[in-house]
Each structure stands twice: as structure tokens, then as C-alpha cells.
Amino acid sequence: MQDPEIAKRMEILAARMGRRDDYGTLLNAGQVVRRLDDVDDPDAWRAEIRSSARSDRIRIRTGKTGEIVWALLSDDNPARAEESERWQRTLRVAVPRAVEFRHEPVWGLRDGDEGILRCERCDAIGYVDGADGPDRPLVGGPLFEEDCPDPAPPVETVLTQFFGSGRRR
């Protein structure tokens, strides 16, 4: 049974992500790519993203290549590096938890210390919040509470390779 508190948090997170503009996507994903056809004025698009980044003191690169226009976060962003390091610690706790229930956890979405993971082979999703400490995150949802209905043994995913399956070898 789904915890209503967790369900509510997932809803709010998903709604917030749905409202994301291109700059928000850049912050969240580290990059944003749009087709030239989808952007009214590529130079104005780049200028607007650069201006947002400047006011947040975030270093980015933008460009136009063939049929696409893009923006990338620079590697040299200490505040973001720290946030990313916290998230990785969070995943080191959360990912093995999903594996205990035989899911194949894959990336869903992330915003700051909060994120949603899902199972590659069933419809289970799980909510993760590392705000109270990345080493003991709040986790909830079927991905962390209910067995995967797929009877076959789970295979490794990119996440389990990086963050551990929790299995003894």
C-alpha cells in the first residue's frame, strides 16, 4: 500500500519538474538541447540562458551545432559538485534498498536532494529525499517496499553498477 505522505511528495516533485523551463532543465540535468525548429530565435535562447546563469553565478557553455542549439554546465561549479556528491551518497543507500526487493532500479528524475527512481521491468517507482542527511535518506514507495513481480532474477543496471547492489560477492 502506498504511503499517502510519500505519494504527495512525489506528486509535488513531479509537478515542479513539469513546470521546468530550459534553464531549469540545464540545472537539473547538466545539459539542455533543443532543435532549432523548436526555438524561435536561437541567439535569444542562448542569451536568455546565459543571463540566468550569470545571475546565479553558474558557469555554462552554449552553442549552435547543425540543427540543434545547446547549453552545458561547466565542470567547474563547486556548489553543484557538492550537491552532486550528496546525491551520490544518497543513492548508495537507496539503490541497494531497491535491489533487496529484486527491482532493477533506473534513473527517474532529480531535483536537489529529492528524486524519483523507477524499476526497469515493472511499474514500481520510489521516492528518495536526502535533505536530512545523504547517508540516511527518506525513501518510500513500491520500489523500496514491495517485491518486483517479475519472476526472473534481476540484472544489473547502470545504477546498481555505480551504487552497489547490496549483494555480497
The yes or no reply on residue 138 touching Zn ion (CB under 5 A) is no
Q: Degrees (nearest 5) of the Cα angle 1, 110, 27?
A: 160
Helices assigned H by DSSP within the chain: 4-18, 22-29, 42-55, 78-100, 142-145, 158-163
Which residue in 49, 95, 148, 159 binds Zn ion (CB under 5 A)? 148
All cell numbers assigned to 4: 499517502
Please state the closest distance from residue 91 (CB atom) to Zn ion, in A: 17
Part in contact with Zn ion (CB under 5 A); list of ranges 14-22, 62-70, 83-91, 111-119: 111-119
Half-sphere exposure of 131 (CA within 13 A, CB side): 7
The yes or no reply on residue 122 touching Zn ion (CB under 5 A) is yes
Between 26 and 124, CB nearer to Zn ion: 124
Q: What residues pair up with 105 in beta bridges, in sequence order?
A: 119
The yes or no reply on residue 60 touching Zn ion (CB under 5 A) is no
Sheet holding 60-65, edge to edge: 31-35, 68-73, 60-65
Q: Give the binding-site size for Zn ion (rule: CB under 5 A).
A: 5
Between 109 and 122, CB nearer to Zn ion: 122
Which residue in 60, 117, 119, 139 binds Zn ion (CB under 5 A)? 119
Footprint on this chain of Zn ion (rule: CB under 5 A): 103, 119, 122, 124, 148
